[in-house]
């Protein structure tokens, strides 16, 4: 490889911390920013190799640690179609990140080139962006160091939300093709979303307000930008920057401290890199109500089912959830709407993959990560189908609009916000009508620091433990004692601990079940 000398000499400036082991987790590498330098350098090399493997198509790199504390950071790769890095490549990236010496690094690079049969003659294109974390700027420099050393063409897109970077990657790779994804710029992204949203609202003024807390992250400035494109008459957005965000609201089931809820007023919280959103509101009686990812999935499923029926077309709708989905949300989808539901392991990449099996695949994690995917067949049908009545025409137009409004590369808080708002506007609903589809089963989430989280091995989409031996039987025995009881234990993919989820018919039963399993795990 002709640039190997450059790669190794630049690598001297980014030495690997001795003995450290890095793993490509649920959403890439994530840790205290101080330890990330060598990882970022090597991810840069991997991105370039991946691009070369795919004939120079543009690959994306995002520097973010999502909702983790400010001193953390992370890095992940985006494949040319805008989705997450293909699974088999996670191993290669990990082997580069863990090469102990520069000689080993060279060997690993040469091995990847050989094993994946990369023809090194030709260009490599990589774009990158970061969220607003203070450590992002220096890490972006390191990334550039790697891309320069290996000889890749690269563009720094500065501060972006994670889904914006995914959008840019897909848009860049589809310029001039039969299905261009959109103009490959940040303003192209806002234009695509806002034009679709205004069309869906049929330019009708919405006249009500939604309060959005952007978790002190990159969502704040970007939502402010999007707001300019939307126009006040379409949607009145009040943007706040609380420190907590979606994770706090979901975990503690209360509004961010300092946020006062007026009954029936819509509120939403994003996370740090704006790929996750949840809604909440106060009921007429002032009680706190959560409208999480499951509720968004339910709303979207109901809406898409109606539209597909009204449009008179045959498209198979399916929903993908994880074990964290509330039992009653699954009941609503399967028993009330009678739609197929698949359960997969935690992490956007697993849901995304499973959702691609449907014509319209709706996927949401309870924590608010999610989107809706239209298969190529579905898109073609929407394009060509001729309506035989004004009602069919209108439903088809709405489906077309939604396919543009929804970011199909990855879950996107800004796009999901507009999706929810478009559905509510179309139904003339407030949050309580939306909420009335079903009532969540009371549930509790615990975390437990253990000596070695790798001892906890799961199966059946993380719903059952195979190791430690005997533990699952004990959990089953406990669960059987509670009405509508369900519980599972899994190792976190982003933190060094074990998570415990329990739900049951009443609040006290859910608490009790969770606490007992916590004691078992200890
Ligand atoms: C990451 C995942 C998210 C998942 C969460 C689970 C992406 C973009 N993000 O944030 O989907 O819900 O991890 O974390 O894939 P845990 O393994 O610590 O429970
Ligand atoms: Mg995130």
| Mean pLDDT of successive 10-residue stretches along the chain, which has 522 residues | 93 95 90 96 98 98 90 96 95 98 96 96 97 95 98 98 98 95 98 95 74 92 95 86 86 90 96 95 96 98 98 97 98 98 96 96 98 96 94 96 96 98 94 97 93 94 96 97 97 91 97 96 88
What is the distance in A from the centroid of ligand 1 to the CA of 281? 25
Nearest CA to ligand 1 atom 2: 347
Same fold, 4-159 and 188-289: yes
Helix (H, G, I), strand (E, B) or coil at 138: helix
What is the distance in A from the centroid of ligand 2 to the CA of 272? 6
Phi, psi of 73 (to 5 degrees): -150, 180
Please enumerate in sequence order all residues whose Cβ is within 8 A of that of 418, keeping only pairs 6 or more positions apart, or say none: 193, 196, 197, 235, 405
Catalytic residues: 66
- Rounded to the nearest angstrom, the distance between the alpha carbon of 26 and the centre of ligand 1 is 6
CATH number of the structural domain 293-415+424-435? 3.40.120.10
**Mutation test of ligand 1: which of 369, 446, 489, 495 has the most ligand atoms closer than 8 Å to its C-beta?**
369
| Spacing of C-alpha 328 from chain mean position | 23
- Point out the ligand 1 atom lying closest to the alpha carbon of residue 495: 18
Give phi and psi for 491, each to the nearest 5: -75, 135
Partners of 270 in the β-ladder: 277
- Bridge partners for 128 per DSSP: 61, 156
How far lies 79's CA from each of 59, 144, 166, 441, in Å? 5, 18, 8, 38
Q: Is the CB of 85 under 6 A from ligand 1?
A: no
What tokens does 420 get? 């929810």
b/e map 452-465, b = 16+ CB within 10 Å:
ebeebebeebbbbb
Give the model's pLDDT for residue 216: 86
Instruction: Return d(Cα 493, Cα 503) in angstroms, integer.
Output: 22
Choose one of 270, 348, 355, 445 to mutate for the ligand 1 pocket test, by most ligand atoms within 8 angstroms of C-beta.
348
CA distances from 88 to 23, 85, 95, 99, 162 (A): 14, 8, 12, 18, 22
| Cβ of 26 below 6 Å from ligand 1 | yes
> How is domain 4-159 classified at the CATH fold level?
Alpha-D-Glucose-1,6-Bisphosphate; Chain A, domain 3 (3.40.120)
Site to probe by mutation for ligand 1, drawn from 23, 25, 27 as the one with most ligand atoms within 8 Å of Cβ, is 27
Residue 129: other Cβ atoms inside 10 A:
28
Round to whole Å and give the CA distance between 382 and 378: 6
How many whole angstroms separate alpha carbon 273 and alpha carbon 42? 22
What is 443-521's CATH number, 3.30.1300.10, 3.30.310.50, 3.50.50.60, 3.40.50.2000?
Answer: 3.30.310.50
Q: Which helix (H) or strand (E) holds 32?
A: strand 29-32
Residue whose C-alpha is closest to residue 61's, from 49, 73, 44: 44
Point out the ligand nearest to the CA of residue 162. Answer: 2
- Note the pLDDT of residue 204: 64
Structure-token pair, residue 266: 């819509």
Assess whether the C-beta atom of 271 lies below 6 angstroms from ligand 1.
no
Does the CB atom of residue 472 touch ligand 1 within 6 A?
no
- Structure tokens given for 241: 């920057």
State if pTM tops 0.75. Answer: yes
Residues 151-161 as b/e (b if ≥16 CB within 10 A, e otherwise) read bbebeebebbb
Look at the block and give the residue holding tokens 């699952």. 472
Does 275 appear as a known binding residue?
Answer: yes
For ligand 2, the distance from its centroid to the CA atom of residue 122, given in whole angstroms, is 34
Nearest to 295 by CA among 160, 431, 121, 193: 431
- The response to whether 72 counts as a known ligand-binding position is no
- Structural class in CATH, domain 188-289: alpha beta
Residue with tokens 């979901």: 250
**Closest-lying ligand 1 atom to the alpha carbon of residue 367:** 12
Confirm or deny that 365 is annotated as ligand binding: yes
CA distance 417 to 194: 12
The bound ligand whose nearest atom lies closest to the alpha carbon of 411 is: 1
Sequence-separated (6 or more) residues with CB below 8 Å from residue 373: 352, 355, 356, 358, 360, 361, 362, 363, 408
The CA 335 to ligand 1 mean position distance, Å, reads 28
271 is known to lie in a ligand binding site: yes
Residues 6+ apart with CB under 8 A from 330: 321, 341
- 225 C-beta closer than 6 A to ligand 1: no
Tell me the CA–centroid distance for residue 64 and ligand 2, in Å. Answer: 8
Q: Domain residue spans in the chain?
A: 4-159, 188-289, 293-415+424-435, 443-521
- Would the CB of 367 count as within 6 Å of ligand 1? yes
- Asked whether 194 lines ligand 1 (CB < 6 A), one says no
In this predicted structure, what is the pLDDT of residue 243? 74
3-state secondary structure of 254: coil
Ligand nearest to the CA of 67: 2
366 labelled binding-site residue: yes
Separation CA 441–CA 165 (nearest Å)? 36
Q: Is 453 in the pocket of ligand 1 (CB under 6 A)?
A: no
Q: How far is the CA of 149 from the centre of ligand 1 (A)?
A: 32
Q: In what order do the strands lie in the sheet with 266-270?
A: 236-240, 209-213, 266-270, 277-282, 288-291
């Amino acid at each position: 490889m002709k640039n190997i000398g450059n790669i190794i000499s630049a690598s001297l400036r980014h030495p690997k911390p001795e003995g450290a082991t890095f793993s490509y987790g649920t959403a890439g590498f994530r840790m205290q920013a101080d330890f990330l330098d060598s990882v970022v350098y090597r991810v840069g090399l991997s991105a370039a190799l991946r691009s070369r493997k795919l004939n120079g198509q543009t690959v994306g790199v995002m520097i973010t640690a999502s909702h983790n504390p400010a001193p953390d950071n992370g890095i992940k790769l985006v494949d040319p179609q805008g989705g997450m890095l293909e699974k088999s490549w996670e191993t290669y990236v990990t082997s580069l990140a863990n090469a102990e010496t520069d000689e080993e690094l060279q060997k690993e690079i040469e091995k990847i080139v050989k094993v994946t049969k990369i023809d090194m003659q030709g260009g490599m294109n990589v774009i990158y962006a970061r969220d607003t974390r203070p450590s992002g700027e220096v890490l972006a420099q390191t990334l550039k160091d790697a891309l320069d050393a290996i000889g890749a063409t690269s563009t720094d897109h500065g501060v972006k939300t994670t889904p914006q970077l995914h959008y840019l990657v897909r848009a860049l790779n589809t310029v001039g093709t039969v299905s261009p994804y959109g103009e490959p710029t940040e303003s192209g992204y806002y234009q695509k979303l806002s034009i679709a949203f205004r069309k869906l609202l049929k330019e009708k003024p919405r006249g009500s307000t939604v309060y959005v807390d952007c978790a002190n992250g990159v969502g704040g400035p970007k939502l402010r930008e999007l707001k300019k494109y939307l126009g006040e008459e379409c949607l009145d957005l009040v943007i706040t920057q609380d420190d907590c965000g979606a994770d706090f609201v979901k975990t503690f089931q209360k509004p961010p401290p300092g946020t006062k809820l007026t009954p029936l007023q819509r509120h939403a919280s994003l996370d740090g890199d704006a790929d996750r959103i949840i809604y909440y509101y106060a009921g007429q009686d002032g009680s706190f109500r959560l409208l999480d990812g499951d509720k968004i999935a339910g709303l979207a499923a109901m809406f898409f089912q109606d539209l597909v029926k009204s449009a008179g077309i045959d498209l198979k709708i399916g929903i993908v959830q994880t074990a964290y989905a509330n039992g009653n949300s699954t009941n609503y989808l399967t028993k009330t709407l009678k739609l197929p539901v698949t359960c997969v392991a935690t992490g956007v990449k697993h849901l995304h993959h499973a959702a691609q099996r449907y014509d319209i695949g709706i996927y949401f994690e309870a924590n608010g990560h999610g989107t809706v995917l239209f298969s190529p067949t579905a898109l073609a049908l929407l394009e060509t189908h001729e309506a035989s009545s004004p009602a069919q025409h209108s439903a088809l137009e709405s489906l077309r609009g939604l396919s543009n409004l929804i970011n199909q590369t990855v879950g996107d808080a800004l796009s999901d916000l507009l999706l929810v708002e478009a559905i509510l506007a179309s139904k003339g609903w407030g949050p309580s009508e939306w909420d009335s589809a079903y009532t969540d089963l009371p549930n509790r989430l615990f975390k437990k620091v253990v000596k070695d989280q790798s001892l906890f091995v799961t199966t059946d989409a993380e719903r059952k433990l195979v190791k430690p031996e005997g533990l699952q039987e004990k959990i089953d025995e406990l669960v059987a004692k509670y009405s509508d009881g369900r519980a599972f234990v899994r190792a976190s993919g982003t933190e060094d601990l074990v998570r415990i989820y329990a739900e049951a018919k009443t609040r006290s039963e859910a608490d009790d079940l969770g606490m007992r399993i916590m004691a078992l795990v200890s």
